[in-house]
Amino acid sequence: MSVARTLRIGWLYPTKMNIYGDRGNVIVLSQRAAWRGIEPHVIELDIDDAIPSDIDVFFFGGGQDQEQIAVSRDLAGKKGEILQSAIENGAAALTVCGGYQLFGKVYRPHDAEPLPGIGIFDAETEAGGERFIGNVVAESQWGELIGFENHSGLTWLGSGAEPMGRIVHGRGNNGTDGTEGAKYRNAVGCYLHGSILPKNPTLADWLIARGLEYRGQDPELVPLADDLEQRAHRQAVGRARSERRDEPNRSMFSRIAAYAPIPRS
C-alpha cells in the first residue's frame, strides 16, 4: 500500500443550505472514503468563513429563499472567485437545487432583484409558475441516475455547460429541453434530492476519485459491495416508473386511496 490518503470535503453552508436531507451526500462521501481506508475530513464552511485552499470535493445543498439570499451575498466577491479557481483547477463539486442555481450565473425571481451566482456553470435560472415535484430518472455518464426533484426555478444551460444527464422520467432543468443538471470540469450540479449519492454510488465514487486526483493522490478506488445501494436504486426506479406522467396532480381518487386503509387481501 502507498501513503495514507485523505479526502477533504468542504460543506458549503451546512446549516443554511440543508433543507431536503441533502446532508446524506456528505455522509456518503465520508463513509465511502472511510470504508476504503481514506481518511475523510468534513470542513463546514459557513457565512464569513474563508475557503481553505486544500478542499478536494465541495458539497453545496439547497435552502429556503431567505437563506439563499444571505448565501448569495456571502459568495459575491472574493469567496466566489476562490471557488471558481478551485473548480477551474480540477476540484470536484456536487451542488444541488439552490446550490446548483448559485453555481450558475444568475437567479431571476418574479418580484425581486436578480440574485447573482458565481458563474461556474454557464446556466441561468428564472422563477417558474409551476413546482416540479416527483421522482426523476436520468441517463448520464454515470449510468442511470435516480433522485427526487422539488423546484419551481427553470434552469437554462448556455453553450459552455453540458447537462449532467438526459431525462427519462420527470421534468428536469426546465421541463422543456429534456436536460437535467449541469457539468463543468469536475463540478456537477442538479435538482436531484433523495439524497442523490446514496442511491447513485457510481457518481459518489467519481467525485471521490476526482477529488483525490486534484491534490495529487492516487484516485484508484477498490470496489465496494453495493447490494443495499443497488437495491434502493432499483426500488426507487420502480416507484418512478409506476407513476403517471402528470404526478403529483393525481386524480382525486388515487389521493383518497392514499388515506384509506389498504383493502383486505
Partner 1 sequence: MVPRSPLGSVRRAASIGASKAALAALRRTGRGGGTAAPGLLALQIDPEVVSRIAERLSDGAVVVAGTNGKTTTSRMIADIIEASGRTVIHNRSGSNLARGVAATFIEHASLSGEPDAQMAVIESDEAALPEILRLVKPRLVVLNNLFRDQLDRYGELNTVGTRWKAAFGRLPPTTCLLVDVDDPTLATITAGLDAPRTTFGLRIPEHTLDELPHAADAAICRKCGADLTYRELYLGHLGDWLCTSCGYQRPALDVTGSAVRLDGMASLTMSVEGNGQAIRDVTVHVPGIYNAYNVTAAVAAAFALRIDPATIRSALENFRSPFGRAERVRWQGREISIALVKNPVGFNEVLRTITGGGSELAAPTLIVINDEFADGRDVSWLWDVDFEMLAAGTLPIATAGMRGADMANRLKYAGVEESRLMPLDGPIDQALTTFLQRTSDSKDVSILPTYTAMLAVREILGNAGAVERFWEE
Residue 106 has phi, psi (to 5 degrees) of -160, 150
Q: Known catalytic residue: 97?
A: yes
What does the chain come to in residues?
A: 265
Residue tagged active-site, from 97, 151, 190, 233? 97
Grid coordinates of 206: 467519481
Nearer to partner 1, 174 or 195 (CB): 195
Rounded-to-integer distance, Cα 125 and Cα 156, Å: 6
Q: Report, in Å, the least distance between residue 195 CB and partner 1.
A: 5
Residue tagged active-site, from 41, 151, 190, 193? 193
Do β-strands 57-60 and 39-45 pair in parallel, antiparallel, or remain unpaired? Answer: unpaired
Nearer to partner 1, 48 or 216 (CB): 48
- Taking the CB of residue 153, how many other CB atoms lie within 10 A of it? 22
Rounded-to-integer distance, Cα 180 and Cα 114, Å: 23
Rounded-to-integer distance, Cα 173 and Cα 171, Å: 7
Q: Report, in Å, the least distance between residue 216 CB and partner 1.
A: 28
Nearer to partner 1, 112 or 256 (CB): 256
Q: Known catalytic residue: 190?
A: no
- Which residues of this protein are in contact with partner 1, per CB under 8 A? 15-16, 18-24, 27-28, 31, 64-67, 70, 131, 133-135, 148, 150, 152, 193-195, 198-199, 228-229, 231-232, 234-236, 239, 248, 250, 252-253, 255-256, 258-265
- Active-site residues, by number, are 97, 193
